[in-house]
A and B are shown apart, each in its own frame.
Chain A
Amino acid sequence: MTRAPLSLKIAALGGLAFLHVPLLFILLYCFTTEEKSYAFPPPGFTLKWFGVVWGRADIWAAVGLSLKVASIATLLALVLGTLAAGALARARFFGREPISLLFVLPIALPGIVTGIALRQAFGLMEIPFSVWTIVLGHATFCIVVVYNNAVARLRRLSPSLIEASMDLGADAFQTFRLVILPNIGTALLAGGMLAFALSFDEVIVTTFTAGQQSTLPIWMLSELIRPRQRPVTNVVAVLVILVTFLPILAAYYLTRHGEAVAGSGK
């Protein structure tokens, strides 16, 4: 094995630092006593912003909405993504390739296009903005994440396992429950967690489909404009990091023995 030259190591460390040091600053300014600007070094340290966050109803409303949207979108994605993967993993039929492309397109498409398209569609159909319009917007890319994970796992599943199950007397439903689901379970878990994390911090599509409602990321965006109580945003940001990071970490550990978690790029 050859060792990497020193310059390469420094470059690698520099890259990592560039990615992660800003996160440390977010953490640092959770505790600052200065509320109007981010002065360095912080003039003093306090825990009061955690109390302020605890007491603000608008934050908890936004957190609640975000959790609700992410949960429903993930659930929807798990059902529809698995069904689509089951249909497209092995079957050969005319139009299969275009259909799978259409399926993964929403994740490749800029969120702003998805957002505008959905907003116009809702407008045309006179659907009022609600939790469900946000859920629909998020489901467009959540389904892809679940689909990608499920389809990769299904393709690795030996087709003779399904035949063996049928051969031994199991109908389609029993085969799905007893053979397919246990074998793609971790892929679905990983896909579901990713979908949840993606939905939880989504801004662009949400902006177009939320109307007057505020999900947590939308709330943070609006908070940036206000000059007072800046560290409150930092405290919430740290919460968001925890909420999105933990599932992604869990998904990574659950699937590292399997294939790469496809579609994690959004």
Chain B
Amino acid sequence: MHAHAAPLALPAVRFARVVRHFGAVRAVDGVDLSIAPGEFFAMLGPSGSGKTTCLRLIAGFEQPDDGHIEIFGETVEGLPPYRRAVNTVFQDYALFPHLSVGENVAYGLRVRGVGRAERERLAREALSLVKLAGMETRRPAQLSGGQRQRVALARALVVRPKVLLLDEPLGALDLKLREEMQSELKGLQRALGLTFVFVTHDQSEALSMADRVAVFNEGRIVQVGPPEEVYEQPATRFVARFVGSANVLEAREAQALGGPARPCSLRPEKILLLAPGAPVPEGAAVVDARVTDISYQGPVRRISARTGQGLALTAAVPATAAGVMAGADIRFAVPAGAVRAMEGEQ
């Protein structure tokens, strides 16, 4: 760490024009990134977008071909994973099958030369932190998926990393467990005040857990910001479609719906379905369309419709709304301000 740098100003992780290619594929193609200490940071993107490679670059499993990476001000290019103060919770958990749960958790302490009694005590502490007290003697194979993940978490936390990396942490869990772990991870991160960086392809996971979300596409970050901002103000067509499948409108279409004359996004849940003869809300644009498809999704119904001008729109309306049939003529209202310009598009 540089002695002259002010500790508070140091980002936990900083990428400057980082490039990593595999053969001809530019997996990471000039990524700039700054993650603040104590931040819960999500890297969101489809598979092959470079998010996992970025995580591996932080962990040290990959080395950048170009650019610069710092962890708390320390340059880490060329440093092997075992010399970095970051730890990883792997997607497949990577628990050592030949060791007990307790030995798994104590592994990092063991290779650091911590004495047996001390490391057993710390391992017990870490296991109770993830609510697995008393499981020390079990084998990983005897645990459920959710328990294995907690062990992986305890094993990474026990060596007190400065940054915790999580690779698709909830990917292998079922829905109920996933929701439980979401709030638990968030609580743990807050309680420990640690920097968490996690990779996911699930936008709802990123939005619900992260302080900030970086959306990846084709090896680049296309937008970074708090979840609300990324969701409400997608910067590009890709973000609009990938995060919450928004309607993407060309300049002319946006203008017709009361928006600015440039490419815009329109969230399906902002669109109102007007009952026949109902009054038009003040300032809203009205558009007539014919229903092409309906899908029921529990709390909402997604209505796909096409206007006379050929514009395809998807609206998410409360499922309680009166039954609309495919082929029916309906009227949508688009409230003022719902059509948002995409800053990253011309």
Contacts and interface: CB of A to CB of B under 8 A. Distances in A.
A161 B99 CA distance: 12
B92 A158 contact: yes
Contacts of B110: 178
A168 B108 contact: yes
B159 A164 contact: no
| Interface size class, chain A | 10 to 19
Contacts of A158: 92, 94
Given A170-B82, A171-B82, A164 B111 contact: no
B111 A182 contact: no
Given A169-B108, A169-B159, A164 B98 contact: no
Interface in B90-107: 90-92, 94-98, 107
A136 interface: no
A165 B80 CA distance: 12
Nearest to A161: B94
B260 interface: no
A92 to B, nearest CB: 11
A167 B90 CA distance: 10
A68 to B, nearest CB: 33
A161 B81 contact: no
B112 A169 contact: yes
A33 interface: no
Given A163-B81, A174-B111, A168 B92 contact: no
A167 B87 contact: yes
Nearest to A183: B98
Interface residues of B, number: 25
Given A169-B108, A169-B112, A174-B111, A164 B96 contact: yes
B296 interface: no
A222 interface: no
B111 A178 contact: yes
Interface in B68-120: 80-82, 86-88, 90-92, 94-98, 107-108, 110-112
- The secondary structure that dominates the A interface is helix
A167 B92 CA distance: 15
B107 A160 contact: no
A231 to B, nearest CB: 49
Contact of A167 (B82, B96, B112): B82
B75 to A, nearest CB: 19
A179 B111 contact: no
Contact of B61 (A163, A170, A171): A163
Nearest to A181: B98
Contacts of A170: 82, 107, 111
A94 to B, nearest CB: 13
Interface in A138-169: 158, 160-161, 163-169
B269 to A, nearest CB: 39
Nearest to A185: B98
Contact of B107 (A165, A171, A183): A165
Interface string B49-74: 00000000001110000000000000
Contacts of A164: 88, 90, 94-96
B150 interface: no
A179 B96 contact: yes
A91 B94 CA distance: 20
B220 interface: no
Contacts of A169: 82, 108, 111-112, 159
A164 B108 CA distance: 10
* The 6 residue pairs across chains A and B that have the minimum distance between CB atoms: A168-B108, A164-B94, A160-B94, A170-B111, A166-B81, A182-B98
Given A168-B111, A169-B82, 11 more contacts: A160-B94, A163-B90, A164-B88, A164-B90, A165-B96, A167-B156, A168-B87, A169-B108, A169-B159, A178-B110, A183-B98
14 contacts: A158-B92, A158-B94, A160-B91, A160-B94, A161-B94, A164-B90, A165-B107, A166-B61, A168-B107, A168-B108, A171-B82, A171-B111, A178-B111, A183-B98
